[in-house]
Chain A
Amino acid sequence: MILRKLKNYLFLCLMTLSGVAVLIPLILIITYVIKMGASSLNWQFLTHLPKPVGESGGGMFHAILGTLYLVSLGGFMAIPLGVVLGTYLSELGKGWMATFLRHAIDLFTGIPSIVIGIFAYVLVVVPLKQFSALSGGVALGIIILPVVTRTTEEILKLVSNTTREAGLALGLNRTQVIWHILIKGNRAGIFTGVVLAISRAAGETAPLLFTAFGNSYFSYGLMQPMASLPAQIYTYATSPFEEWQRQAWAGSFVLILLVLGLNLSTRFFMRQKS
C-alpha cells in the first residue's frame, strides 16, 4: 500500500520534472526573443523596406509579406494534395502503389530541409534558369505535403468502419461518404495538421536560400526572387552591423508572433465551431 503510493508519488514527480524540463528552454527562448526583439520592433520595421547599410531605420516589410506569400503558395499546392493523398492512403490504400507512396511520404518527412531546398532547386530553379518565388513555394510545399498527408491518413484511420458503413447504408456512394462524413467530420483534426505543417514551413530558412533566394524589395511576381523572414533574419543576424543584428531580433519576434498567432487563432476558431 505504502509502496504503491510512494511509486505513484515518484512517478508524478518525474512527469512534472520532465514537463518543466521541456518548458524551461521554450520559455527562455521566447522571453529572450521578446526582450531582444520588442525593443527594435516599431511601426517602421513592419511597414518599410530595408535601408542601405549605414543609414538607420528601415524594416522588413518585404520579408514579412514574402513569408506570407511563400507559405500561402506552398500551402495552396500542398494542402489539397496532402488531404487527397492522405485520404487515398486511408480509404483505398492497398497494393504496391500505396505502400510505395507511404514509404515515399515517410522518407520526405525525414529529409533535412536543406536537401529539400536542393531538390526544389534542381526541379524548378535549374529548368527556369532563375531564383523565383515559385521555386520557394515548391520547396515549402514539399515540407508541408508529408505532414498534411500523414495527419489526414492517421485521423481518418481512427474513424470506425461502422461509421463508413452507416453512410453507405444510407445510400451514399463512396465519394460522398469520404467527403461529407469522413473529411468534413474530421476537419478540425485535419486542420490541426495543416496548421502544424504551415508553422513549420514558415520558419524554414535552408530550403529558401537557393530557391526564393532573397530580395531587397517586394515583388508580386511568381518568377521573381522573393525575400522571406527566416532568410532575412539569417542574413541580418550574421552581418557585422549592429543595426541589422537588432533588426534580426525584431524579425525573429515577428516570426514567432506570426506562428503563435496562427496556432492560437485556429484553436480559438476550432473551439467556437465545436
Chain B
Amino acid sequence: MNILQVKNLNAWFGDHHVIKNISLDYMTNTISAIIGPSGCGKSTFIRCLNRIHEEVPSAKATGEVIMQGKNIYDADVVSIRKNIGMVFQKPTPFPAMSILDNVLIGVRLQEKLKKARLMDIAENCLQKAALWDEVKDKLNKPGTSLSGGQQQRLCIARSLALNPPILLMDEPTSALDPIATAKIEELMDNLKKEFTVIIVTHNMQQAARIADFTSFFVLGDLIEHGPSTEIFTNPKNKKTEDYIMGKFG
C-alpha cells in the first residue's frame, strides 16, 4: 500500500530550480533511501515532504504530496508535521532542556496528558530509539550532555513521540562514528515495523544494507528508482551505474 505519493514536485530557491518535476510513491512499512551527488537536491526534496522547505526565505515548491489520500500542501502545516517526523543531519537536542523534556515537548504542547501517561510515552519512544537503557537513570540531565550518537537517537525518540506514520531522515549518521551508525541502522530496521522511513544518505553501503527501495537523484532530476537490490546490482541507467561504481559524484 502506498502511504505517500509525490506528484510533479518542483522546488526553487529564488530562481534556482532545485527539484525538477519529481514523482515517486512510497510504500507503507518500508525504508527508502535517496542517494546522489552533493548538491543534487536530496535534502531539499525531503524537506518538501514535511513542508520545512518553505521556512527558508525565497524558497518555493509546487506539486502535490499526497499522504493517506490528502495533499499535504492543501492541509494545515502544523498538523502535517505532527504526522511526518524529521531527523536532521546534525543532532539537535534543544538547549537547556532535559532528556525527558526533549522527548515529550511535542506531545506536551499538543495535548494535556497525565504524568504517568507521559512517562509511558517517553519510555516507549526511548526504547524504540534504543536509548532507554543508557538514559533511564538520568532523564533529568540536559539532552546536550549526551554523546553525539546518543543525541541523534534522542532526536529519533523525540520524533517518534508524536507517533508519526512517516519518518524523514536527512543523513542521520553522517556525523557519527561507525559504532553509533551501526546502532542507528539496527534500530531503523525495527522502526520499519511501525513506521515508513525515508532516508537521505551519502553512504551507498548504508543504502544497500537498510533500504528496501532506493532513488538516485542528479541535479534535481530523479534518474532511477526501484528496489535497492536492483539499483545496486543491476541499474538500468548508465548514470546510476557510473555513480555506484564511483565514477562520478
Contact = CB atoms under 8 A, between A and B. Distances in A.
B81 A163 contact: no
Interface string B16-54: 000000000000000000000000000000000010100
A169 B78 contact: no
B97 A176 contact: no
Interface residues on B, range: 20 to 34
Given A171-B110, A172-B106, A180-B109, A166 B155 contact: yes
B85 interface: yes
A170 B159 contact: yes
Contacts of B142: 274
A188 interface: yes
B52 A185 contact: no
Contact of B82 (A164, A171, A181): A171
B92 A166 contact: yes
B129 to A, nearest CB: 15
Contact of A165 (B55, B110, B158): B55
B109 A165 contact: no
Interface string B62-88: 000000000000000011111001101
A170 B52 CA distance: 11
A162 B96 contact: no
Contacts of B92: 160, 162-163, 166
A186 B78 contact: no
A181 B55 contact: no
A159 B81 CA distance: 22
A273 B86 CA distance: 30
B94 A171 contact: no
Interface in B106-164: 106, 109-110, 142, 155, 158-159, 162
A180 B107 CA distance: 13
B159 A162 contact: no
B88 to A, nearest CB: 5
Given A162-B90, A185-B97, A171 B79 contact: yes
A173 B78 CA distance: 7
Given A166-B155, A169-B85, A176 B109 contact: yes
Contacts of B182: none
B88 A166 contact: yes
Given A171-B78, A171-B81, A186 B96 contact: yes
A51 interface: no
Contacts of A163: 92, 94-95
Given A165-B88, A169-B86, A188 B96 contact: yes
Given A166-B94, A185-B95, A188-B96, A171 B162 contact: yes
A170 B106 contact: yes
B96 A185 contact: yes
Contacts of B55: 164-165, 168
A170 B107 CA distance: 9
B80 to A, nearest CB: 8
Contacts of B52: 165, 168-169
A169 B90 CA distance: 14
Interface string B195-229: 00000000000000000000000000000000000
Contact of B96 (A165, A166, A171, A187): A187
A107 to B, nearest CB: 28
Contacts of A160: 90, 92
Contacts of B86: 166, 169
A169 to B, nearest CB: 4
Contact of A180 (B90, B105, B110, B162): B105
- List 4 tightest A-B contacts by C-beta distance, closest first: A171-B82, A185-B95, A166-B92, A169-B86
Interface of B: 50, 52, 55, 78-82, 85-86, 88-90, 92, 94-97, 105-106, 109-110, 142, 155, 158-159, 162
